[in-house]
Amino acid sequence: MLRKYIEQYSGSTLTEEEFALVTASFRPRHLRKKQYFLQEGDVSKNMAFIVKGAMRQYSVDEKGGEHIIFLCTENWWVGDRESFTMLTPSRYNIDAVEDSDILVTTSEAFQGLVDKIPAINNMIRTMDQRNSIANQKRIHSAISLTAEERYFSLLESNPALFQRFPQNMIASYLGISAETLSRIRKKPRTTDH
């Protein structure tokens, strides 16, 4: 699955030697539901590719409220990029929302792949590009749309999330309260988004 992902995102084929290098740089890990991949205050030394499962990245405020910044399923990467790049303690937690199978790599191992395999370099450029476009859209939604518009926009662009994550997590991801989300869902739809 990771090989297919790398080849698709890099637009090139891995040789058997390259694939062996990739395989040697990742180790499989199983996370039970609610198990942590990263805890706030730790340095995010690992990144992981989700083979199966659902995970989330979130902060916890001083009142204990959770703020979900990313919801991730199969074929996504998890890890706090700021902490992973800068080697600073993370302000985020990452845990499994479903039992998950992931492939874990370290900062050093991954940098080794980037240096040795051109396809990995190309994959990162494609990922960064898509990531940057997705983040731009999400920032634009956050500053310009109402809570209701944000809900329908996500339902349209990523309906699968609603099957995998409970309503309270969807609300947090959208930056709205669970009560507001519940009210929006009960209301007949008036606008044509």
- Geometric angle at alpha carbon 180, from 143 and 177, rounded to 5°: 70
Contact 62, 78 (CB under 8 A): no
Nearer to its own copies, 1 or 133 (CB): 133
| DSSP at 151 | H
Q: Under the criterion CB under 8 A, does residue 67 sit at the interface with its own copies?
A: yes
User: How many residues belong to the site for its own copies (CB under 8 A)?
Assistant: 31
Q: Under the criterion CB under 8 A, does residue 184 sit at the interface with its own copies?
A: no
Of residues 12-41, which lie at the interface with its own copies (CB under 8 A)?
none
Which of 59, 106, 107, 168 is in the footprint of its own copies by CB under 8 A?
A: 59
Q: Under the criterion CB under 8 A, does residue 68 sit at the interface with its own copies?
A: yes
Q: Under the criterion CB under 8 A, does residue 61 sit at the interface with its own copies?
A: yes
Which one of 97-105, 129-137, 154-162, 184-192 is the stretch in contact with its own copies (CB under 8 A)? 129-137
Question: Considering only CA atoms, which of 147, 156, 140 is closest in space to residue 192?
Answer: 156
Q: Under the criterion CB under 8 A, does residue 8 sit at the interface with its own copies?
A: no
Q: Under the criterion CB under 8 A, does residue 138 sit at the interface with its own copies?
A: yes
| DSSP at 188 | P
Contacts of residue 99, defined as CB under 8 A and 6 or more positions apart, other chains included, come to 30, 31, 32, 33, 53
Report in angstroms the alpha-carbon separations of 121 from 28, 54, 64, 102.
22, 26, 39, 21
Q: Which residues bind its own copies (CB under 8 A)?
A: 59, 61, 65, 67-69, 81-82, 85-86, 121, 124-125, 128-129, 131-133, 135-140, 142-144, 172-175
